[in-house]
Structure formats: C-alpha cells, structure tokens
Chain A
Amino acid sequence: MARTVWDSSVGKKTVMAVSGLVMLAYLVVHMLGNLKIFFGAGEFDHYAHWLRTIGEPFMHYEWTLWVVRVVLVAAVVAHAVSAYQLSRRDIKARPSKYVHKKPRTSYATRTMRWGGIILGLFIVWHILDLTTGTVHPGGFQSGHPYQNVIDTFSTWYGNAVYIVAMLALGLHVRHGFWSAAQTLGVGSRTRDRALKATANLLALVLTVGFISVPVGVMTGVVS
C-alpha cells in the first residue's frame, strides 16, 4: 500500500498534504509559545526550559522534544521530496510554454514552489541561528532564548529574513491548507467557503503572530 501511495501522483500529493498538516499543527503551537515573549524574559525562558522536560518523569530530559524533532524532520523531508518529485513530473508534463503569455492564477498558487524553497532555506537558517547558535549574531547563550531572540532581531538582516519568510509562510499556508483539504477529499461545494475562510484565518494568524515578535523587538516592546 505504501508503494501504491508513493508511486501515484495522487498518493504523493496525499503525503504532501499530511506532512504539511503536521507542520502546520506544529507551527500553531510554536507561534502561541513565541507570544510568551511579551510576558518577559523569566516566563519565556521558563517556558523554553519546560519544553525540554515534557513527559518527565516517564520521559528522560529532552526526549519528548527529540520525538517532536524527529517527526518534524520526517515531515519536512517527506514534504520536500514529494514536492520535488511532483514538480519534476509537472514540468516534464508541460515542456513547451505557450508563445502567448498570460498572467494567471492567484499569487499564492504561483508562489508555492518558490515559497517552499524560501521556507526550506529559512528553516536551515532559523535552526543554525536560534537552536544551535552557529550563525547567531552576538554571543549565543544556551538556555537563554529570550536574549537570543532579541539579539537576532536587533540586526536588520535578522528582521528582514524573518519577516520575508513569515510572509511566504502565510501565502504557503493559505493555498496549502485549502489544497490539502482537496487532496484528502474533505472539500465539497458546501464546505468550500468555510475551508477557504479557515485557510485565510490560519495564514493571517500565523503570519501576524510570528511577525509580532520582531516587531516587538524593533519597537522596543520586547527588550
């Protein structure tokens, strides 16, 4: 069955939809957690520490977090590989373009591929910046995420990269969520408006929620 799913264009699209929804669920939680930054360093850092102790004493320190990380990496890889293979297939299916060019389809649809690549690159930077600290501006301090966040958003490029990526995320989620619903066969004529509204709401809330952090740092609300 796994083979059937992976070999079929509809099946591969299902893999994209499910992995996308996993990441979307994670992002909602991640965004809500980020908002804790507005309650000050103590609460934010405490929350960050708690993430590592979830499930104790059954789970060892950071085990739950690693489970989440593994699931996320699997989702990202599945999403990216299926997207890559499907895109290759799509490009092969339409090798020659029309001579008469026309602007078509909504912005979000057209930018799914580019948006996906932007988001992929962003994730790499984001992990190197705030998880491992490899490319962090200023001294990265493990266990002090509040200060690390402020450091990042004190640079112009930190803000620029983050905000661009979050706008891309909004567009990606807007088309992606509705699209996943169609792929999974839950869309219908009667449900379409509700699905589109949910997609728009999710995109808006995620984008605004995430962007509020750098904006907070820039405006001095978070310091």
Chain B
Amino acid sequence: MKLTLRVWRQKNADAEGAMSTYEVDGISKDMSFLEMLDTLNEELILKGEDPVAFDHDCREGICGACSLVINGDAHGPERTTTCQLHMRSFQDGDTIDVEPWRASAFPVVKDLVVDRSAFDRIIQAGGYITAPTGAAPEAHATPVPRPDADFAFEHAECIGCGACVAACPNGAAMLFTSAKINHLNVLPQGAPERESRVLDMVAQMDEEGFGGCTLTGECATACPKGIPLMSITGMNKEWLRATRKAGKK
C-alpha cells in the first residue's frame, strides 16, 4: 500500500506545531499502525531527518502507552489501542491524519507524545486502598460476592491511556477517574476510604484542569477496554453520597 500521512510535528512543549506531510510506500496490510510509523521513521533517519516521536511500549494493547488520534478518532477507527490497529483497516492511497491527544491537562511533549502525569496525580489523590505490606488479613477472611468482584474487575481493566480525555469534546477525565472509583468503592476492602477517595480524586481531577462531563458518550466509544459510560453515573452517585455524609459531620 502507498499512503499519505499528515503528522503533527512539534519540536518540544514550547514550540509551535504543524501538520507535516509524508509519503510511505510498501506498507503491508499485516503491519500494525505503529509498525507503519516505524517504517516511516527508518526512512526519516536515513534521510537525516528527525523521526516522529510517539509513545509505545508493550504493543499488546495493555500498557496504555500508545496514544494517537488517527483521522480524528482516538486510537483510530477500530475499538482497540493504536498498537493493535492494523493497516488492513485502511485502503491503498488513503491520506491519514495523525495527531496527539489534545487536552490542556495533557500538554504535548514532542510530536505525538503528551504528558499524562495528571492521571498519576489523580490516582495519588485517593485511587488506592491503604493496606501496608504485611498488614493484610487472610485472603478468604472477606468474601466478595461474584457480581461485585466482576463489577470491580470490569472497571479495573482501565489501562490509563487517556483516549477518553482525547475523545471528549470537553477534555474531561471523568471516565478514567470513575473507573478507579468504581473498582475500589464496590469492594469491601475499599469501604473505609470510600468517601474520601471519591471526594479527593474528583477534586484532583478538577485541579488538573480537565473539563466536565456533558455525557456525550465519546469517551466510552473511544475506550479500548470498553469501560461503560455508566461508570460516570456511578462516580456521581458516590460523590453525592460522600458529600451528603461529609455535610452531616
């Protein structure tokens, strides 16, 4: 396949960026999207040009590093991560636009690489269960009903890639934040910190400059792990509950 790529190039966080056009030839349908970019980069290096910087690591769809907006879609046209997107989703002669995640809480580092440390700070604000090593009771001391365990797992699947933020017209991190809150708040182990967790994480999310939710559902559509939009409803419920409880104190 022969393709025309229009790629966002930006030297560093402070520089102005722009779309640059490249032609790539000899692309196989079996290549992953990132392997196609590898091909482009090999050519650029040999030509003495700066290769396109992009985040990637496991290339198995689980680490959450890869983060490209392809033709306006976070992670491209299929419901998967960029690394698991294959070139057979495109046609010979296509022009493909490749851009970084866009959100003011995710500033561009270089080209297609953005800084997602805001997500780490949201987790640091309360996305954990306080269980110092060695203090744990026997694992079977607290049974967890299967539906709760399944619910927790479905939300724990989040890979923290940030596609939800990239897809949201408001640059909101509600789906990411809610996934962790729902995972931990449904478990009996998470109950003691249930209120502080949701209040602190939502406060941090606001602090980072993410937008609010207008329930467009773009986040859930883009999520490669299928975290449902209803996750946000669950977070809102937890937040209201925690606020009421805090108000009574």
Q: Which residue of A lies closest to B206 (CB)?
A: A9
Q: Tell me if B71 counts as interface (CB < 8 A to partner A).
A: yes
Name B residues whose Cβ lies closer than 8 Å to a Cβ of A: 6, 8, 19, 69, 71-73, 97, 99, 102-105, 168-172, 199, 202-203, 205-206, 209-218, 228-230, 232-241, 243, 246-247
Return chain B residues, CB-CB under 8 Å to A92.
104, 209, 211
Q: Which among A1, A93, A101, A184 is the interface contact of B170 at CB below 8 angstroms? A: A93
A93 in contact with B210 (CB, 8 Å): yes
Provide the bound-state CA to CA distance between A14 and B238, in Å: 13
Q: Which residue of B lies closest to A183 (CB)?
A: B236
Q: Which among A96, A102, A112, A185 is the interface contact of B214 at CB below 8 angstroms? A: A112
B236 in contact with A185 (CB, 8 Å): yes
Return chain A residues, CB-CB under 8 Å to B199.
4
Most B CB contacts (10 A, CB to CB) among A1, A92, A182, A192 go to A182
Provide the bound-state CA to CA distance between A199 and B1, in Å: 48
B171 in contact with A94 (CB, 8 Å): yes
A109 in contact with B236 (CB, 8 Å): no
Q: Which among B8, B206, B236, B243 is the interface contact of A99 at CB below 8 angstroms? A: B8
Provide the bound-state CA to CA distance between A28 and B234, in Å: 28
Return chain A residues, CB-CB under 8 Å to B168.
94
Count residues on chain A whose CB falls below 8 Å from chain B CBs.
44
Among A15-64, those with CB < 8 Å from B are none
Return chain B residues, CB-CB under 8 Å to A91.
170, 211
A90 in contact with B212 (CB, 8 Å): yes
Return chain B residues, CB-CB under 8 Å to A184.
236-237, 240
Q: Which among A90, A99, A100 is the interface contact of B169 at CB below 8 angstroms? A: A90
Q: Tell me if A133 counts as interface (CB < 8 A to partner B).
A: no
B214 in contact with A109 (CB, 8 Å): yes
Return chain B residues, CB-CB under 8 Å to A79.
none
Q: Tell me if A142 counts as interface (CB < 8 A to partner B).
A: no
Provide the bound-state CA to CA distance between A221 and B8, in Å: 62
Provide the bound-state CA to CA distance between A105 and B212, in Å: 16
Give a binary string over A83-99; 1 marks a CB under 8 Å from any B CB, 0 the rest: 00010011111111111
A187 in contact with B246 (CB, 8 Å): no
Return chain A residues, CB-CB under 8 Å to B238.
185
A99 in contact with B233 (CB, 8 Å): no
Q: Tell me if A161 counts as interface (CB < 8 A to partner B).
A: no
A10 in contact with B73 (CB, 8 Å): no
B202 in contact with A187 (CB, 8 Å): no
Given contacts A9-B212, A12-B212, A13-B212, contact A94 B103 (CB under 8 A): yes
What distance in Å separates the Cβ of B152 from its nearest Cβ neighbour in chain A? 15
What distance in Å separates the Cβ of B42 from its nearest Cβ neighbour in chain A? 25
What distance in Å separates the Cβ of B30 from its nearest Cβ neighbour in chain A? 25
Given contacts A1-B247, A94-B103, contact A189 B228 (CB under 8 A): yes
